Amino acid sequence: MIYVYAVIEATASPLDLSPGLEDQPVRISSESELAAVYSVHDRPIAATAEHLWRHEGVVETIMRQTTLIPARFGTTFADVEKLCDKLRLHRSKLVEGLNRVRGCVEIGIRIAPPPPAAAGRIADDASGRAYMLARLAEERARRGREESATGMLAELHELLRPLSRERSEPTMTHGALRTAYLVERDGAPALAARVVDFANKTADPKILCTGPWPAYHFVPDLSEAKHERS
Amino acid sequence: MNGVEEKSAHEHVTLLELIDRLLDKGVVLSGEITLSVADVDLIDLGLRVLLTSTEARERRRLTAPPS
């Protein structure tokens, strides 16, 4: 089984690659101007923290040396030939994707509204009206926290826009408003510093900045390119 | 929050960020992601991996164009 970490340009200089999942050697196969970075395994890869970090480690090692499109964890093929078929099938989208993120990294922003105050337990014999009013208060508090985070992100975005190329669509997940900025590698520290400066002036909600990451949020969507042929 | 708790919270958030990227972002070359979950007790981490994976898969299923 072929496990894929990333797609790079075939013209990239020889890479210094770290060991892959299960300490397997990481290899490169080219197809036209594209190349895939992968390792070979004889069993499925489990979604464990160790494997996630190893996958990320391989991708970041490549990221430090050349432009790449990171593959989603768990991307596998039966053999190299089938992998190269996919590179051929999606060639122009992948080339376009590499051009989009060339020289860039991703910085993650997470704005976490303060956790809800401990809600009073609704008595078992409370009336239906009392129950509904309590739920309404909870819902209003939740929306208030989300609106606060959204307003703060809008304010922060005005500061980060000049330092970035693109921003991903903000989403509310795991109770936090999240987005990612595509920024030139050399500009990442300045963007991060601006986030920290902004966060230091803010008590709540909590603002966190992570990265630099490979450009996971800015990869091409190949689901719309199924019939593409070179 | 003491130093150890702060470090632990930081690692937890970083892991969440990693999970969100690796399981829900990144290019999908194969059209089908093969994941297996280790046959061990699902500690908080494992549960989150499984949960995120399931959520992401469900979202993809709901947004996929009809075949």
pLDDT in tens, A97-126: 999 999 999 999 989 877 666 555 666 677
Q: How many Cβ contacts (< 8 angstroms) between chains A and B?
A: 114
Cα separation, A141 vs B2, in Å, equals 29
Bridge partners for A112 per DSSP? A206
Determine the residue of chain A that is closest to B11 in CA distance. Answer: A210
Cα separation, A26 vs A5, in Å, equals 9
pLDDT greater at residue B65 or residue A149 = A149
A161: closest CA of chain B, how far (Å): 22
| Interface ipTM above 0.85 | no
Return the percentage of chain A with pLDDT > 70, whole number: 90
Cα separation, B30 vs A36, in Å, equals 13
Summary mean pLDDT of chain B: 57
Indicate yes or no: CB of B27 within 8 angstroms of CB of A222. yes
Q: Please provide residue A80's backbone torsions phi and psi, each rounded to the nearest 5 degrees.
A: -65, -35
Q: Which of A103-117, A146-160, B5-19 has the lowest mean pLDDT?
A: B5-19
pLDDT greater at residue A184 or residue A145 = A184
Mean pLDDT over residues A44-56, rounded?
A: 89
Q: Is A118 exposed, middle or buried (0-12, 13-18, 19+ CB in 10 A)?
A: exposed
Angle between helices A49-63 and B44-63 (to 10 degrees): 70
The pLDDT score that the predictor gives to residue A4 is 95
**Best residue in A3, A174, A195, A217 to probe B by mutation, most B CBs within 10 Å?**
A174
Q: Is A184 exposed, middle or buried (0-12, 13-18, 19+ CB in 10 A)?
A: middle
Q: Which residues of A touch B (CB under 8 A)?
A: 4, 7, 36, 44-49, 52-53, 55-56, 69-77, 83, 86-87, 90, 94, 97, 108, 110, 173-174, 178, 208, 210, 213, 216-217, 219-220, 222-223
pLDDT digits (tens, 9 = 90+) for A67-95: 999 999 989 999 999 999 999 999 999 99
Summary mean pLDDT of chain A: 88
Specify the pTM.
Answer: 0.78
Bridge partners for A27 per DSSP? A38
